Amino acid sequence: MEPVDNRAVVDLLGALAYAELTAFDRLAEDARLAPTLAGRAALARMAAAEIAHHSRLTDRIADLGIDPATAMAPFVSALDAFHNSTRPSTWLEGLVKAYVGDGLAADFYREIAAFLPPADRALVEEVLDDTGHSDFAVREVRAAVSANRKLVGRLSLWARRLVGEAMSESQAVIAEHDRLAELIVAGTGDLGGVAQLIDRITSAHTDRMKTLGLNP
């Protein structure tokens, strides 16, 4: 495999850094929907983890000689559009978004990170590593749908909407950033490899839906 263009590395780290920053904002906001203090604290801890990840990514971008704000700027519009169009209206919708939506995004970044130099790949994998916070979301949602089966259909529909919006935005980001597109195609080998990458992400999403007790 040919050496990776550092500009492609910066693009991916910039996208992920802004994703982590928006995740912090969103989780801190969603914490206010929590019906209990324990739930509020759990989301606050998740938000704290996201901002710590953001700092690690921006430090690496700076090490590469690029201003972190400059690296993140090209991805602001697309990511903001996604979050603005998928604002949760309830506590449970927020948890589903945190688990299903963020999980799908993490799979996407992890797949592309496989094509990065070892040090940057390791950083991305560490930042995306599940530290156990998702267990809280799973417990809350499973308990809720077990107590009220009417929630299954509504939350399943919500999750499918999240995935549809996320996939559309991901495709738009790739289409608008040639270096990311080239990195993916070069890493997977051809368009067939890209299709397999999407299949893996879709399969992981299906598993998450089942874990929550929702319909894929």
List the one residue out of 45, 49, 48, 148 whose CA is nearest residue 90. 148
159 neighbors 165 (Cβ within 8 angstroms): no
DSSP state of 99: I
pLDDT in tens, the chain (216 residues): 556 778 889 999 999 999 999 989 988 888 888 889 988 998 888 889 899 999 999 999 999 999 999 999 999 998 898 888 898 999 999 999 989 888 888 888 888 888 899 999 999 999 988 666 788 889 999 999 999 999 999 999 999 999 888 888 777 777 778 888 888 877 777 666 777 878 888 888 889 999 999 987
DSSP state of 87: -
**pLDDT attached to residue 169:** 78
H or E element, residue 129: none
**pLDDT attached to residue 131:** 60
Q: Each residue of 54-73: pLDDT tens digit? A: 999 999 999 999 999 999 99
Query: What 3-state class would DSSP assign to 215?
Result: coil
Q: Each residue of 117-150: pLDDT tens digit? A: 999 999 999 998 866 678 888 999 999 999 999 9
List the one residue out of 162, 105, 114, 106 whose CA is nearest residue 130. 106
**pLDDT attached to residue 178:** 81
Entry pTM:
0.87
| Tokens at 14, concatenated | 């910039």
Q: What percent of the chain has pLDDT over 70?
A: 96
**pLDDT attached to residue 146:** 94
Domain ranges of the chain: 6-212
Could you confirm whether domain 6-212 is CATH 3.30.70.100?
no
